[in-house]
A = this chain, B = another copy of it.
Amino acid sequence: MDKAIGGEKVNKKRGKQSLVFASPPIITSTANIVGPMEGEGLLQEYFDYIMPDNLNNLESWEQCESYMMERAIKTAVNKDNSTMEMIDCILAGDLLNQLMSTHFAVRKLNRPFLGLYGACSTMVESLLLGAMFLDGGFANKVAVAASSHHDAAERQYRFPSELGVQRPLGSQWTVTGSGAAVLSILGNGPRITAATIGKIVDYGIKDPNAMGSAMAPAASDTLLRHLQDTERAPEYYDMIFTGDLGSVGKQLVIQLMQEKGMDISSNYQDCGCMIYREEQDTHAGASGCASSAVVFSGYIYRALMTNKLKKILLLGTGSLHSTTSYQQKESIPCIAHAVAVEV
Give the shortest distance, in Å, between A139 (CB) and chain B (any CB): 5
Contact between chains at B139 and A136 (CB < 8 Å): no
Give the size of the chain A interface in residues (CB under 8 angstroms): 68
Closest-by-CB residue of B relative to A94 is B117
**Bound form: Cα–Cα A138–B6 in Å:** 13
Contact between chains at A117 and B116 (CB < 8 Å): yes
Contact between chains at A106 and B139 (CB < 8 Å): no
Q: Is A188 an interface residue (CB 8 A)?
A: no
**Bound form: Cα–Cα A162–B111 in Å:** 41
**Bound form: Cα–Cα A230–B343 in Å:** 38
Give the shortest distance, in Å, between A37 (CB) and chain B (any CB): 23
18 contacts between A and B (CB under 8 A): A1-B137, A14-B86, A14-B140, A59-B328, A97-B97, A98-B322, A103-B200, A103-B320, A104-B333, A106-B200, A107-B333, A111-B199, A114-B129, A114-B197, A114-B337, A115-B118, A115-B320, A136-B137
Partner of A137, one of B10, B86, B115: B10
Contact between chains at A324 and B197 (CB < 8 Å): no
Partner of A199, one of B100, B112, B198, B333: B112
Contact between chains at B10 and A97 (CB < 8 Å): no
CB-CB contacts below 8 Å: A84-102 with B: 85-86, 88-89, 93, 96-100
Residues of B within 8 A of A115 (CB): 116-118, 125, 320, 335
Sample of 10 more A-B contacts, CB < 8 Å, known A98-B325, A112-B199, A135-B136: A1-B137, A12-B139, A14-B140, A15-B85, A62-B324, A100-B324, A106-B200, A113-B200, A132-B136, A156-B324
Partner of A140, one of B2, B200, B337: B2
**Bound form: Cα–Cα A271–B140 in Å:** 34
Closest-by-CB residue of B relative to A325 is B100
Give the shortest distance, in Å, between A209 (CB) and chain B (any CB): 16
What mask results when residues 193 to 210 of chain A are scored 1 for a CB within 8 Å of chain B, else 0? 000011110100000000
Contact between chains at A138 and B88 (CB < 8 Å): no
Q: Is A110 an interface residue (CB 8 A)?
A: yes
Contact between chains at A200 and B333 (CB < 8 Å): no
Residues of B within 8 A of A337 (CB): 114
**Bound form: Cα–Cα A104–B133 in Å:** 28
**Bound form: Cα–Cα A17–B133 in Å:** 13
Give the shortest distance, in Å, between A12 (CB) and chain B (any CB): 5
**Bound form: Cα–Cα A146–B63 in Å:** 29
Partner of A85, one of B14, B107, B118: B14
Q: Is A119 an interface residue (CB 8 A)?
A: yes
**Bound form: Cα–Cα A107–B93 in Å:** 21
Q: Is A307 an interface residue (CB 8 A)?
A: no
Residues of B within 8 A of A12 (CB): 88, 137-140
Give the shortest distance, in Å, between A105 (CB) and chain B (any CB): 10
Residues of B within 8 A of A111 (CB): 199
Give the shortest distance, in Å, between A228 (CB) and chain B (any CB): 14
Given contacts A14-B86, A137-B10, contact A113 B325 (CB under 8 A): no
Q: Is A323 an interface residue (CB 8 A)?
A: yes
Q: Is A302 an interface residue (CB 8 A)?
A: no
